[in-house]
Amino acid sequence: MNRIVRLPSVPFPFVWLPKSSAQSTTRPAAATAQPIAVEWATAEPLPLDVSLTFLGAAHCVTGSKYVLTLDRGRNRQQLLVDCGLFQGLQELRQRNHEPLPLVAADLEAVVLTHAHIDHSGYLPKLVKDGFQGPIFCTDATADLLRILLLDSAKLQEEEAAFANAEGYSKHHPAEPLYTVADAEQVLALLESAPYNQTLQVTDQVQVIFRDAGHILGSAIVEMTLQGARQSKKLVFSGDLGRYNNPVLFDPTPVKEADVLLVESTYGDRNTRIEDPEAELARLINEAVERGGVLLIAAFAVGRTQTLLYYLKKLRQEGRVPQIPVYVDSPMGIRVTSLFRQHPTAHRLGLNNPFDFSGLHFVSDQQQSKALNRLTGPAIIISASGMCTGGRIVHHLHNRLPRPQDTLLLVGYQAEGTRGRSLQDGEKQIKMFGEWVPVRCHVTELDGFSAHADRSELLRWLRGFSQAPKRTFVVHGEPLAAESLAQALRHDRGWSSVIVPEYLESDVLFTGI
């Protein structure tokens, strides 16, 4: 009878002998050799443990970063979903200068939902700290990053230089968080793909990008984790857009997930207005009647293009006067051109709605300064949308004291931003180290936000055929996040809904 010996797999054959035989130099005369059958064993993969750590967008709407840790015995892999910069309140911005609780060089990869700086703006710092892995995103997001990250780095350098020149920084000398050279290194690491294509991120992780309808290239990330015994699906909503947007497609419905991270920017309120065109026309006509300039604070990505779409339509229909329109945002101008390069990523196709008589794109800095002499009527669209940086700050410095001028806020204004202070009715605003009185007319138009409101978030969540095993409500201020979480618990009956804390870690799966 044959003896069967099961051995571990090795890269070369060898002869196995019992220990007693191996130590003996002679074989007993009476011994009869017995055949030995050898089976090579294939090592079974070890089970996988998965945890998630919230390094941003927890109890706030900025700094999105989620670390996924995959433990398989002695083999540990970590990857980052989103890599955003904190903006707004000083206590939040200070986190940008604090070391992350990880080794950047050890990260396997970064997966991005979209290009907004609060989701991508920390990438140059991550690379500066040693990260050299791939950065996965959609094709349009990659093109946007080539604009936004370089612009962000340039602003960091300029603000540090200005602070040093004026002497108002608490740090001497003021240093930028990262430089243009750091941002350029990020671009070499980008690996992009169209929507609905499966990407192999690591040997255990695959992702598919679905259209989120928030900005050009924005994505919902469907992530599959392959364990030794079973696979699990994680869904990261990213920032969800609005339904029936004239420029972008509706957010893609998702039917199932084991774990869901959903944004909650407007989790506590509805912002949709019945007729945004009529509201915009009314505000423009009122500004013209005041005889001044209408200054619109608009994000360079998404909001500027939507405004141009509506302005062209209103002018063609004769609902607003044919006054000059100036887009004073170099980044906004470059982003507008990307819509032609990605015709399948939006509703407009190859058409160009961003051209009409009286529209002027202002790239040159001297031309921008010349706009200070405008007395109206005219429209200036400038960034950033929260009035935290960019050319809008210089326009605010010039326009806020003028009673005949109007400031229109058309996007979400985070806590701690100039836009939020203006929205809250502050009578003076600090900029360039001095207090500027607010005498102009300040108004807002919520219906132009690129974020889904509460009803639209719930509409997207109704697409799930059953409740995820765990749902984390992120990217919302505390009241907004908790309000959406309560709706899911009580109205939808989802049993495990969590509003995570900053730096909180949760074990998602064990032994899969």
Q: Token pair 């007993």 is at which residue?
A: 28
pLDDT digits (tens, 9 = 90+) for 339-375: 989 999 999 888 766 889 999 999 889 999 999 999 8
Coil, helix or strand at residue 54: strand
Cα distance between residue 30 and residue 78, in whole Å: 61
Other Cβ atoms within 10 Å of 371 Cβ, number = 21
Predicted pLDDT of residue 217: 98
What is the pLDDT at residue 275? 87
| Nearest alpha carbon to residue 384 among 45, 121, 164, 50 | 121
Q: What span, in angstroms and rounded, lies between the C-alpha atoms of 207 and 229? A: 19
Reported as type and span, the H/E element at residue 396 is: helix 391-399
Query: What's the pLDDT score for residue 171?
Result: 66
Two structure tokens written together for 244 = 């029936």
Contact 72, 45 (CB under 8 A): yes
> CA quadruple 256, 257, 258, 263: dihedral positive or negative?
negative
Q: Dihedrals φ, ψ of 82, to 5°?
A: 70, 150
**Can you name the residues that pair with 294 across neighbouring β-strands?**
379, 406
Provide the pLDDT for residue 73: 86
Amino acid at 189: L
For tokens 């495990």, what's the residue?
A: 496
* Residues in Cβ contact with 286 at an 8 Å cutoff, skipping those fewer than 6 apart: 406
* Residue whose token pair is 């794109």: 361
Per-residue model confidence (pLDDT) at position 163? 76
For 105, phi then psi, to 5°, come to -65, -20
CB-neighbour burial class of residue 41 (10 A; exposed 0-12, middle 13-18, buried 19+): exposed
**Buried b or exposed e, range 47-64, using 16+ CB within 10 angstroms:** bbbbbbbbbbbbbbbbbb
Question: For position 81, what pLDDT does the model report?
Answer: 98
Which of 60, 61, 58 lies closest to 411 in space, CA to CA?
A: 61
Output the six-digit token pair for 156: 């960091």
Tokens of 269: 């309120």
Give the position of tokens 């009647």: 289
> And the tokens for 467?
């409740």
pLDDT by residue (tens digit) across 3-29? 333 333 333 333 333 333 333 333 344
- The b-or-e profile of 495-512 (16+ CB within 10 A means b, else e) is eebebbeeeeeeebbeeb
Q: Is the dihedral angle over the CA atoms 159, 160, 163, 164 positive or is it negative?
A: negative
Q: Which two tokens stand for residue 339?
A: 């819509």
The full 3-state SS of 141-168, as one line of letters, equals HHHHHHHHHHHHHHHHHHHHHHHHHHCC
Q: What is the pTM of this model?
A: 0.84
How many whole angstroms separate alpha carbon 269 and alpha carbon 458? Answer: 11
Per-block mean pLDDT, blocks of 10 residues, the chain (512 long): 37 35 39 46 79 98 97 94 93 95 98 97 98 98 97 87 72 86 98 98 97 98 96 98 94 98 96 87 96 94 92 95 95 91 91 84 92 93 88 94 96 86 94 92 88 97 97 97 98 96 98 95
The pLDDT value given to residue 42: 52
458 in helix, strand or coil?
Answer: helix
DSSP state, residue 96 = G
